[in-house]
């Protein structure tokens, strides 16, 4: 009997994602997109959904980050051993790449909910003796290699993924593409559902677009043009040229180049942006398509620290599977809420002090900033006017940073160097630390252990953002630019604070950094620091609102229930 026999008895929703971040010892994610995919699968399990996920094994992970004294990022392979955590199925699938067959095996990992429902996650792997050494490495590096490596990975994920599900005996009622990386699955479905017409005058009649479209759901995650995966048709032809007629593909995925997002848009019955604002931006980039907005959420149980789990269990039993219960956060006594926060904060500060000689303390207002280091996120906005920051913050704030830059992102790497040099410049004034190798474990420590969660992206480039939602689950108050989810979650002085102008006032101001920084300093000096030190009751009310208004809504259970009713069972 196959390890999957009890999972193939009813039709499933198949969720395809290039990266899925489920746990810290599986380095198969790079950032927000992968963590969201992991949270999606976990909520699907908690909600007993008929669900199966497909991704790549990424045997060498994204990378492990080390940083030298000067702040230069060093990338180490994040090798891991899948056999420690899961088994392979006996079935194998193949895809043709550059005219040769590439064999794929499937590792099956089960995500199990607290109530026992399991969702299988299929990790596709080409590291088989049947394959050439080059092909064996195709599922090694997440977002590694060149364009050719990437398109081959996408062939394995999209085409190989559909074939593997068939081989394993799954029946699929919806295919949900998390970003464009998996959009080749559409071509495989078109082949599978080809019409059986005897006399064909025009080849385009044989493709059953309507049937395939009914089966597909697409979520787009980036509001930047360059963020969409694109390939030249030359490369397409080189790698899988005779698989699907180029003439037709150009109609579906773009005349000039193969745009994976466009392919997904054209053949999905339901298209989603990840926040209301992102829906609007996407609508502008892709006029003529109906785009919906199911705003992202995070998995409440995963992103709540131990001390908060304890008080939620005590006062809000059932919260993990019904985060709506956070609406009753007011039943938690102020003292206990604060004590839970201090417990998480002490844990973080002790951890930081064990790593370096920064000597942070428990009672100073602590600001956290951690996410992928990439230019638009403006990790250095806080330091726009260093002297002003010194005046405002000396003796009153301490700052925690963390984040990886993509190995090819020189600007992102420079940002890390800049923060390292600022740590030195501010010595004796403001304590600043940078925690290396941002991952799920350090993320939970940081988002739960600081007092204020800072996010300073350049509008409108943050599609959603999710780390602020994690912070809110731990009563940590957001202080952020009005972009992505924060436009929906923010109530000034109530759930947190905004930075910069309202989202409607996006002008081509070239001094937007200055405007945003100025607002940041004003609020830090006149509102946030005084409230923290002089008005603890107001502060605790805001912590309650972060939980009762933000975590209440921005969780992946709400997100998945909406996907079910609006996208999956339509
Ligand atoms: C949540 C998370 C992210 C995403 O953070 P954003 O602030 O939404 O960009 C990235 N990396 C890790 C490890 C995370 O846990």
Mean pLDDT, residues 223-235 taken together: 91
Lowest-confidence pick of 291-295, 401-405, 513-517:
513-517
Closest CA to 366 of 409, 396, 407: 396
Q: Which atom of ligand 1 is nearest to the CA of 465?
A: 8
Can you give 291-360 as a three-state secondary structure string? CEECCCCECCCCCCCHHHHHHHHHHCCCCCCCHHHHHHHHHCCHHHHHHHHHHHHHHHHHHHHHHCCCCC
Give, using CA atoms, the residue closest to atom 11 of ligand 1: 31
Instruction: At 51, list the tokens.
Output: 């669900």
Residue with the bigger pLDDT between 558 and 115: it is 558
Give, using CA atoms, the residue closest to atom 12 of ligand 1: 31
Condensed to tens digits (0 to 9), the pLDDT of residues 72-87 reads: 999 999 999 999 999 9
Counting ligand 1 atoms within 8 A of each CB, the residue from 221, 223, 415, 443 with the most, and so the one to mutate, is: 443
Domain co-membership, 514 together with 563: no
Would you place residue 212 in the very low, low, confident or very high pLDDT band (cuts 50, 70, 90)? very high
In the reported structure, the alpha carbon of residue 225 is separated from the centroid of ligand 1 by a whole-number distance in angstroms of 21
In the reported structure, the alpha carbon of residue 35 is separated from the centroid of ligand 1 by a whole-number distance in angstroms of 7
Cβ neighbourhood burial of 543 (10 Å; 0-12, 13-18, 19+): buried
Flag whether 385 is in a domain.
yes
Domain co-membership, 229 together with 357: no
Would you place residue 462 in the very low, low, confident or very high pLDDT band (cuts 50, 70, 90)? very high
Flag whether 404 is in a domain.
yes
Domain co-membership, 112 together with 180: yes
Instruction: State the residue range of the domain holding 79.
Output: 10-297+559-568
CB 489 less than 6 A from any atom of ligand 1? no
Domain co-membership, 353 together with 215: no
CB 443 less than 6 A from any atom of ligand 1? yes
Domain count, the chain: 2
Domain co-membership, 232 together with 350: no
Closest CA to 416 of 393, 433, 429: 433
- Which positions ≥6 away from 268 have C-beta within 8 Å? 177, 213, 216, 217, 218
199 pLDDT more than 90: no
Mean pLDDT, residues 530-556 taken together: 98
pLDDT given at position 510: 63
Give, using CA atoms, the residue closest to atom 4 of ligand 1: 32
Q: How many Å apart are CA 537 and CA 178, to the nearest integer?
A: 42
Rounded to 10 deg, the angle between the 536-545 and 334-355 helix axes is: 90
Q: Which atom of ligand 1 is nearest to the CA of 377?
A: 9
CB 481 less than 6 A from any atom of ligand 1? no
Q: How many Å apart are CA 30 and CA 311, to the nearest integer?
A: 32
pLDDT given at position 505: 56
Flag whether 156 is in a domain.
yes
Calculate what percentage of the chain has a pLDDT beyond 90: 93
Give, using CA atoms, the residue closest to atom 7 of ligand 1: 467
Looking up tokens 């080749």 gives 184
Looking up tokens 């009649």 gives 205
Flag whether 159 is in a domain.
yes
Q: Which atom of ligand 1 is nearest to the CA of 298?
A: 1
Condensed to tens digits (0 to 9), the pLDDT of residues 281-305 reads: 999 999 999 999 999 999 999 999 9
In the reported structure, the alpha carbon of residue 447 is separated from the centroid of ligand 1 by a whole-number distance in angstroms of 10
pLDDT given at position 205: 78
CB 32 less than 6 A from any atom of ligand 1? yes
Q: How many Å apart are CA 80 and CA 544, to the nearest integer?
A: 40
49 pLDDT more than 90: yes
pLDDT given at position 509: 57
Flag whether 318 is in a domain.
no
Counting ligand 1 atoms within 8 A of each CB, the residue from 376, 467, 471, 479 with the most, and so the one to mutate, is: 467
Domain co-membership, 239 together with 354: no
Cβ neighbourhood burial of 418 (10 Å; 0-12, 13-18, 19+): middle
Flag whether 118 is in a domain.
yes
Domain co-membership, 284 together with 380: no
In the reported structure, the alpha carbon of residue 466 is separated from the centroid of ligand 1 by a whole-number distance in angstroms of 6
Closest CA to 456 of 499, 400, 508: 499
Domain co-membership, 227 together with 270: yes
Q: Supply the CATH number for residue 388's domain.
A: 3.40.50.2000
Q: How many Å apart are CA 455 and CA 475, to the nearest integer?
A: 16
In the reported structure, the alpha carbon of residue 104 is separated from the centroid of ligand 1 by a whole-number distance in angstroms of 30
In the reported structure, the alpha carbon of residue 419 is separated from the centroid of ligand 1 by a whole-number distance in angstroms of 19
Counting ligand 1 atoms within 8 A of each CB, the residue from 36, 371, 373 with the most, and so the one to mutate, is: 371
Domain co-membership, 216 together with 289: yes
Closest CA to 420 of 360, 458, 481, 379: 379
Domain co-membership, 467 together with 401: yes
Domain co-membership, 291 together with 400: no
Flag whether 83 is in a domain.
yes
CB 35 less than 6 A from any atom of ligand 1? yes
Q: Give the angle 368-512-455 at the CA atoms, nearest 5°.
A: 15
Flag whether 46 is in a domain.
yes
pLDDT given at position 159: 98
Q: How many Å apart are CA 24 and CA 21, to the nearest integer?
A: 8
CB 371 less than 6 A from any atom of ligand 1? yes
508 pLDDT more than 80: no
Domain co-membership, 448 together with 563: no
Helix (H, G, I), strand (E, B) or coil at 455: strand
């Amino acid at each position: 009997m196959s390890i999957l026999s009890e999972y193939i008895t009813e039709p499933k929703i198949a969720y395809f994602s290039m990266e899925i971040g489920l746990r810290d010892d599986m380095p198969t994610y790079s950032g927000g997109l992968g963590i969201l995919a992991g949270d999606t699968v976990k909520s699907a399990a908690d909600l007993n959904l008929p669900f199966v996920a497909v991704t790549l094994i990424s045997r060498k992970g994204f990378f492990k980050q080390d940083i030298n004294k000067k702040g230069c990022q060093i990338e180490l392979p994040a090798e891991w051993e899948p056999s420690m955590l899961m088994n392979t199925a006996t079935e194998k699938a193949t895809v043709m790449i550059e005219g040769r067959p590439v064999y794929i095996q499937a590792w099956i990992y089960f995500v199990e909910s607290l109530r026992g429902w399991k969702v299988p996650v299929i990790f596709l792997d080409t590291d088989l003796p049947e394959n050439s050494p080059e092909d064996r490495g195709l599922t090694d590096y997440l977002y590694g290699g060149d364009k050719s490596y990437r398109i081959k990975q996408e062939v394995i994920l999209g085409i190989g993924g559909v074939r593997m599900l068939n081989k394993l005996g799954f029946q699929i009622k919806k295919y949900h593409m998390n970003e464009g990386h998996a959009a080749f699955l559409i071509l495989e479905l078109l082949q599978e559902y080809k019409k059986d017409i005897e006399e064909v005058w025009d080849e385009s009649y044989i493709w059953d677009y309507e049937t395939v479209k009914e089966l597909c759901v697409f979520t787009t995650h980036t509001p930047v043009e360059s963020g969409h995966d694109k390939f030249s048709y030359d490369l397409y032809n080189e790698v899988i040229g005779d698989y699907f007629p180029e003439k037709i593909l150009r109609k579906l995925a773009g005349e000039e180049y193969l745009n994976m997002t466009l392919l997904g848009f054209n053949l999905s019955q339901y298209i989603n942006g990840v926040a209301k604002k992102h829906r609007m931006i996407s609508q502008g980039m892709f006029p003529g398509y109906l785009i919906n907005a199911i705003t992202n959420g995070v998995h409440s149980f995963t992103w709540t620290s131990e001390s908060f789990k304890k008080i939620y269990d005590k006062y809000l039993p059932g919260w993990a599977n019904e985060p709506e219960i956070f609406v009753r956060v007011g039943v938690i006594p102020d003292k206990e809420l604060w004590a839970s926060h201090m417990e998480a904060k002490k844990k973080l500060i002790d951890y930081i002090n064990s790593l370096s000689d920064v000597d942070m303390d428990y009672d100073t207002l602590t600001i956290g900033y951690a996410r992928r280091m990439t230019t638009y996120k403006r990790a250095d906005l806080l330091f726009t006017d260093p002297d002003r920051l010194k005046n405002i913050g000396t003796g009153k704030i301490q700052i925690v940073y963390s984040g990886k830059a993509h190995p090819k992102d020189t600007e992102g790497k420079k940002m890390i160097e800049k923060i390292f040099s600022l740590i030195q410049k501010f010595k004796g004034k403001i304590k600043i630390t940078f925690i290396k190798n941002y991952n799920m474990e350090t993320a939970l420590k940081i988002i739960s252990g600081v007092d204020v969660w800072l996010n300073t992206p350049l509008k409108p480039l943050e599609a959603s953002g999710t780390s602020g939602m994690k912070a809110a689950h731990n009563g940590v108050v957001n202080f952020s630019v009005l972009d992505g989810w924060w436009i929906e979650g923010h109530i000034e002085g109530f759930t947190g604070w905004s930075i910069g102008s309202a989202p409607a006032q996006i002008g081509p101001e070239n001094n937007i950094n200055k405007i945003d920084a100025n607002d940041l300093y004003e609020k830090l000096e006149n509102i946030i620091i005084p409230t923290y030190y002089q008005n603890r009751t107001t502060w605790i009310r805001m912590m309650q609102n972060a939980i009762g208004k933000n975590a209440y809504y921005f969780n992946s259970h709400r997100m998945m229930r909406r996907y079910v009713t609006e996208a999956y069972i339509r």
